[in-house]
Amino acid sequence: MTESNPDIEISRRRLLGTVGAAGAAGLALGGASGALAHSALAGSGGGSATGAAGSLSSLGATRVAFDGDHQAGITTPLQAKGHVLAFDLAPGAGRTEAAALLRRWSETARRLMAGETAPTADSGIALDAGPSSLTVTFGFGHSFFERTGLTARRPTALDPLPDFSSDRLDAQRSNGDLWVQIGANDALVAFHALRALQKDAGEAARVRWQMNGFNRSPGATGTPMTARNLMGQVDGTGNPKPSEPDFDKRIFVPAQGPGPADHAWMGGGSYAVVRRIRMLLDDWDKQSLAQQEQVIGRTKATGAPLTGGGETTEMQLDKIGTDGKPVIPSNAHARISAPEQNGGAAMLRRPFSFHDGIGPDGAPDAGLLFICWQADPLRGFVPVQRKLDRGDALSAFIRHESSGLYAVPPGPRSGEYVGQRLLEG
Ligand SMILES: C=CC1=C(C)c2cc3[nH]c(cc4nc(cc5[nH]c(cc1n2)c(C)c5CCC(=O)O)C(CCC(=O)O)=C4C)c(C)c3C=C
Ligand SMILES: [Fe+2]
């Protein structure tokens, strides 16, 4: 709260009124993990958050913890609104400026995620709203380490992704020194955070690219369910679940090693692969329902495998139909990307949809801001994308237009800033 701004103080009091009976103290969700870790990761966002708190009366009241073992925004349920952006350090800015920036960003994120105003010159955009499940997540790109003289501490997992034959990447909208992901269940809360963080960057860093995304609003469906994408598919079914014994091992870098001591700062962190994937929706919509379902290998209505059952029924990949062909086609997206087809390679997909208007050809510039999380991209995204690149039926309907890989350090301890163990270790 800025003491110099009486308007903001008044609004903070109003906000506490909004929080109401649930009580502000009872709304901080996350605890040790720094984020909600409910099973319905891709479900309707606040659905599981609301369930956890029981008596929440307002979607805006839900709060995700900033401090914790892992940064928020990885296992947090999908939020309705997202901004993802990359910054490059300004010419002349190095490790000192980067450390000061991460300190400012962390202070701002910590406050905004708690439903407070920005530390300096709050814009007022989010006045009256609660934290609305706001999360802010920070990562480092490959180039950050040269800029800051920290190449000895750069993990090999951050080596550039290989080229894929179907890539149509725009370098201006790819990579970057620093990456920020913002998610919230209210568009104004999300934009407020975006403005505050951009102002914090000051002279130290410039926006390289920025993308905006969305998901279904919590409460839009009768019961919380797995998300749908802009092709209309149920998307997220096969995600690893936090309740699975190997979840942490797949998604987070082990707290102790196994790498050299120089890389220990990433213990508890994760790697984010970020891809703007355009959907060729006019071509997709020309396909019959049966054709669309063959492309994925699952039904459109429920997301159940074509081999039968419900959404969470295992796919029977060896089941042969009356025509003598596999019921789930050999080039179906869900078959090719399944962990059992990729030596166990798995990732946590946590995307936003995007729509950036209509192009000159009348086609929507829309698709998926594909964001996936893993302990090691060489055991997650890379082998799966290599295989999809060679023979995915979905390839005819999508185009990878930008790409980034970021080392996302662990969550901060109380009073720490994100990345402190790298920048001051
Ligand atoms: C390299 C990783 C992947 C990319 C890129 C990707 C793009 C992409 N996917 C869909 C839609 C669906 N994907 C589904 C499953 C699925 N996809 C990947 C990986 C990538 N997808 C994985 C690992 C899985 C899970 C496989 C499994 O565990 O069986 C599905 C099916 C439902 C589900 O499990 O989520 C859909 C639908 C789109 C539209 C897209 C690019 C725009
Ligand atoms: Fe997929």
Q: What is the pLDDT of residues 220-251, one digit of tens each?
A: 999 999 999 999 999 999 999 999 999 999 99
Ligand 1 touching residue 384 (CB < 6 A): yes
Q: Does residue 155 lie within any of the structural domains?
A: yes
Count the neighbouring beta carbons within 10 Å of the beta carbon of residue 254. Answer: 13
Q: What pLDDT sits at residue 238?
A: 97
Ligand 1 center–CA 235 separation, angstroms: 7
Indicate the pTM of the whole model.
Answer: 0.90
Q: Does residue 98 lie within any of the structural domains?
A: yes
Chain position carrying tokens 């409460």: 219
Nearest CA, atom 12, ligand 1? 235
pLDDT at 38 over 90: no
Question: Is the ipTM value over 0.95, yes or no?
Answer: yes
| Cis peptide, bond prior to residue 258, ω within 30 of zero | yes
Ligand 2 center–CA 303 separation, angstroms: 12
- Beta-carbon contacts of residue 201 (< 8 Å; ≥ 6 apart): 87, 101, 207
Q: Does residue 199 lie within any of the structural domains?
A: yes
The closest alpha carbon to 326, from 354, 351, 307, 312, belongs to 307
**Strands 364-374 vs 352-358: parallel, antiparallel or unpaired:** antiparallel
Q: What is the pLDDT of residues 196-208, one digit of tens each?
A: 999 999 999 999 9
Mean pLDDT of 376-401: 98
Nearest CA, atom 37, ligand 1? 235
pLDDT at 41 over 90: no
Ligand 1 touching residue 393 (CB < 6 A): no
Mean pLDDT comparison of 3-17, 44-58, 239-253, highest-scoring range = 239-253
Angstrom distance (rounded) from CA 113 to CA 305? 38
Q: Which domain holds residue 22?
A: 6-228
Nearest CA, atom 29, ligand 1? 338
Nearest CA, atom 35, ligand 1? 236
C-alpha count within 13 angstroms, C-beta hemisphere, residue 80:
18
Locate the ligand 1 atom nearest the alpha carbon of residue 384 and give its number: 1
Ligand 1 touching residue 233 (CB < 6 A): yes
Angstrom distance (rounded) from CA 357 to CA 366? 7
Ligand 1 touching residue 374 (CB < 6 A): no
Chain position carrying tokens 């829309």: 366
Q: What is the pLDDT of residues 315-325, one digit of tens each?
A: 999 999 999 99
pLDDT at 48 over 50: no
Q: Does residue 181 lie within any of the structural domains?
A: yes
Q: Does residue 328 lie within any of the structural domains?
A: no
Ligand 1 touching residue 298 (CB < 6 A): yes
Q: What is the pLDDT of residues 410-420, one digit of tens each?
A: 999 999 999 99
Instruction: Categorize the per-residue pLDDT at 258 as very low, low, confident or very high, splitting at 50, 70 and 90.
Output: low
pLDDT at 281 over 50: yes
Q: What pLDDT sits at residue 263?
A: 87
Q: Does residue 425 lie within any of the structural domains?
A: no
Angstrom distance (rounded) from CA 29 to CA 132? 12
Ligand 1 touching residue 237 (CB < 6 A): yes
Q: Tell me how long the chain is.
A: 425
- Beta-carbon contacts of residue 301 (< 8 Å; ≥ 6 apart): none
Q: What pLDDT sits at residue 228?
A: 98
Q: Does residue 152 lie within any of the structural domains?
A: yes
Number of independent structural domains in the chain? 1
pLDDT at 289 over 70: yes
From the CA atom positions of the chain, what is the Rg in Å? 21
Q: Does residue 191 lie within any of the structural domains?
A: yes
